[in-house]
Amino acid sequence: MRTTPIPTAAPPWYTQRWPWLLMLGPASVLVAGGIASWLALGHPDAMVVDDYYKQGKAINQDLRRDRAASALRLRLQARYLPAAGRIEGRIDSAGQPVTAPIRISLAHPTLPERDIVLLARPGADGAFSVALPALEKTHWQVVVEGGRRDWRLAKAWDWSRQAELLVVADGA
């Protein structure tokens, strides 16, 4: 007598390893996409400007202030003293000291929340000294303006590589 084997029920799919291995790729893509979306939405790019037209118009005003600094033949020398936590320097106009208050802005290259604004009152010889918190070793954009913001000097500065900052108006 011949016996036919009784078909056995195949084990359920979830007990096999191949379906899980095949699902691992798409599942990891979904997780990575979720993390990338969270980073993109939670940490917006600080370099994007909301009102680019208004900023473009402001460039023309800056050029007028640069020309005013050139006409005055302004010159700034400064150095950062990390041990003392100060920035010291001298500002003059055609060799004559500037004694009016000045505004020194240090703009971080990528993080606007780390920008620093200092107000200095030069003495009779044009020398000034202002307390300054610890500066990060990076390329700072330095902008020096008159008290009424009628002129402007600007230059990039990496204090860890350049001990002294020298900014001379273009026409000087």
Instruction: Residue 77: give its domain's CATH number.
Output: 2.60.40
29 and 86 belong to one structural domain = no
> Does residue 15 have a pLDDT over 70?
yes
80 and 150 belong to one structural domain = yes
Number of domains in the chain: 2
Residue among 71, 73, 125, 74 at smallest CA distance from 99: 125
Q: What domain range is 164 assigned to?
A: 73-168
Rounded mean pLDDT of the chain? 85
0.85 surpassed by pTM: no
Tokens, residue 167: 């900014």
Give the model's pLDDT for residue 42.
Answer: 87
Residue-wise pLDDT tens digits, 66-122: 888 888 899 999 999 998 889 999 999 888 888 889 999 999 888 888 899 999 999
Give the model's pLDDT for residue 109.
Answer: 87
Give the model's pLDDT for residue 58.
Answer: 60
Please indicate, yes or no, if residue 10 is contained in any of the structural domains. no
Residue among 52, 42, 152 at smallest CA distance from 102: 152
